[in-house]
């Protein structure tokens, strides 16, 4: 099960327009959505809580929430639909082949109760996580939409970037956990991870980008995970601010067999072969950032 460290509410700002309209699902996809919905409703009925939840189809998701229908629909329209449309446009993402469940629990008490009752799970984070084995995003939506957007990134990376290393997968998810919409685009903004990264830089000894990108998935999550997440996020934030993130993603994806860590592609994208000097400049740049 893939899990992220605790992620507080996002600094996400949604526009006031209505959510984008989507093309109807193809007949085969609609059948898959309907079958998934029937399974969810049967699960809820089995535990006698069918009247506690609203179930909403939003291709490629089935969204299940225990708040008012208006609030669940708002999460669908203002967080899921907006962010997915913009991520797909930016990275040319294909939808996951399987219909995914999105569980939105209204607060931590509900989240703890129903993940145990309905999903037979005991989360190690109070915010939310993605379970690839179940094909489910499980959220305490009371903490905000940031974790939801973060976790939405993972199944899209899983589908579109086979064997993506954890540093990039989590860096991209973390980038959008605090985000804003600008027209048809989504942009990461500075967030709560910044002060810890700045503290690590001032303390000295931040890992090199060569070492960060070479970190195994297990080591990324195990060894100083908070700093790893922050360093990966703000490297991608730098690329975004320099207008290089889209180019880097496409180049890394194309070169992944020859450059599985993405480091060589990073050097080429930056045009900086003296990476020690670049990291010094990047660290000074990070220290000038502020978190609103």
Contact (CB, 8 A) for 2 and 155: no
Angle at CA of residue 77, ends 76 and 83, nearest 5°: 85
Per-residue confidence (pLDDT) for residue 33, from 0 to 100:
96
Strands of the sheet containing 128-131, edge to edge, are: 54-58, 61-65, 100-105, 136-140, 128-131
The percent helix, strand, coil of the chain (3-state, each to 5) is 55, 10, 35
- Select the CATH number that applies to the domain covering 27-162 from these four: 3.40.50.11440, 3.20.20.190, 3.40.30.160, 3.40.190.10: 3.40.30.160
- Range list for CATH 3.40.30.160 in the chain: 27-162
Give the mean pLDDT of the chain. Answer: 91
Structure tokens at 280: 């010094």
pLDDT surpassing 80 at residue 148:
yes
Structure tokens at 254: 């194309």
Per-residue confidence (pLDDT) for residue 26, from 0 to 100:
79
Contact (CB, 8 A) for 254 and 91: no
**Half-sphere exposure in the Cβ direction for 52 (13 Å, CA):** 17
**HEC profile of 222-281:** HCCHHHHHHHHHHHHHHHHHCCCHHHHHHHHHHHCCCCCCCHHHHHHHHCCCCHHHHHHH
Q: What is the DSSP string of 38-71?
A: HHHHHHHHHTT-GGG-EEEEETTEEEEESS-HHH
User: What is the chain's length?
Assistant: 292
pLDDT surpassing 90 at residue 10:
no
Structure tokens at 194: 């910044």
Q: Give the tens place of pLDDT for each residue, 195-207.
A: 999 999 999 989 9
pLDDT surpassing 50 at residue 150:
yes
Q: Give the tens place of pLDDT for each residue, 101-111.
A: 999 999 999 99
Q: Give the tens place of pLDDT for each residue, 19-62.
A: 454 556 777 889 999 999 999 999 999 999 999 999 999 999 99
Per-residue confidence (pLDDT) for residue 224, from 0 to 100:
80
Structure tokens at 138: 């499980």
Per-residue confidence (pLDDT) for residue 23, from 0 to 100:
57
137 three-state secondary structure: strand
Distances (CA, A) of 84 to 77, 89, 129, 185: 10, 8, 17, 10
Structure tokens at 14: 């949604």
Per-residue confidence (pLDDT) for residue 201, from 0 to 100:
97
Provide the pLDDT confidence category of residue 225 given band limits of 50, 70 and 90.
confident
Provide the pLDDT confidence category of residue 11 given band limits of 50, 70 and 90.
very low
Percent of the chain topping pLDDT 70: 92
pLDDT surpassing 70 at residue 6:
no
Q: Give the tens place of pLDDT for each residue, 113-132.
A: 999 999 999 998 999 999 99
Angle at CA of residue 26, ends 22 and 27, nearest 5°: 140
The structure tokens 């699960």 sit at 43
pLDDT surpassing 70 at residue 284:
yes
- 119-127: long-range pairs with CB below 8 Å, 24+: 123/3, 124/3, 125/3, 125/4, 125/5, 125/6, 125/7, 126/6, 127/4, 127/6, 127/7, 127/8
Per-residue confidence (pLDDT) for residue 20, from 0 to 100:
52
Percent of the chain topping pLDDT 90: 85
Per-residue confidence (pLDDT) for residue 226, from 0 to 100:
87
pLDDT surpassing 50 at residue 16:
no
Smallest CA-to-CA distance from 90 within 17, 183, 170 is with 183
């Amino acid at each position: 099960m893939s899990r992220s460290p605790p992620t507080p509410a996002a600094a996400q700002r949604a526009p006031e327009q209505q959510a984008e309209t989507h093309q109807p699902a193809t007949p085969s996809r609609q059948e898959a959505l309907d079958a998934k919905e029937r399974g969810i409703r049967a699960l809820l009925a089995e535990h006698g809580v069918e009247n506690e939840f609203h179930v909403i189809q939003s291709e490629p998701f089935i969204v299940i929430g225990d708040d008012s229908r208006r609030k669940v629909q708002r999460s669908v329209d203002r967080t899921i639909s907006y962010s997915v449309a913009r991520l797909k446009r930016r990275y040319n993402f294909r939808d996951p082949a399987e219909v995914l469940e999105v569980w939105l629990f209204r607060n931590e008490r509900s989240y703890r109760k129903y993940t145990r009752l309905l999903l037979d799970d005991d989360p190690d984070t109070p915010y939310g996580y993605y379970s690839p084995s179940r094909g489910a995003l499980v959220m305490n939506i009371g903490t905000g939409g940031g974790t939801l957007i973060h976790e939405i990134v993972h199944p899209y990376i899983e589908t579109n970037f086979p064997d993506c290393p954890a540093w990039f997968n989590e860096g991209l998810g973390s980038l959008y956990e605090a985000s804003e919409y600008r027209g048809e685009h989504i942009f990461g903004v500075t967030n709560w991870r910044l002060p810890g990264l700045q503290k690590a830089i001032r303390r000295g000894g931040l890992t090199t980008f060569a070492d960060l990108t070479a970190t195994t998935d297990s080591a990324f999550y195990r060894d100083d995970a908070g700093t790893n997440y922050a360093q990966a996020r703000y490297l991608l934030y730098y690329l975004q601010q320099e207008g290089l993130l889209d180019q880097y993603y496409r180049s890394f994806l194309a070169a992944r067999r020859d450059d599985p860590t993405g480091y060589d592609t990073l050097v080429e994208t930056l045009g900086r072969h003296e990476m020690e000097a670049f990291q010094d400049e990047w660290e000074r740049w990070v220290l000038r950032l502020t978190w609103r």
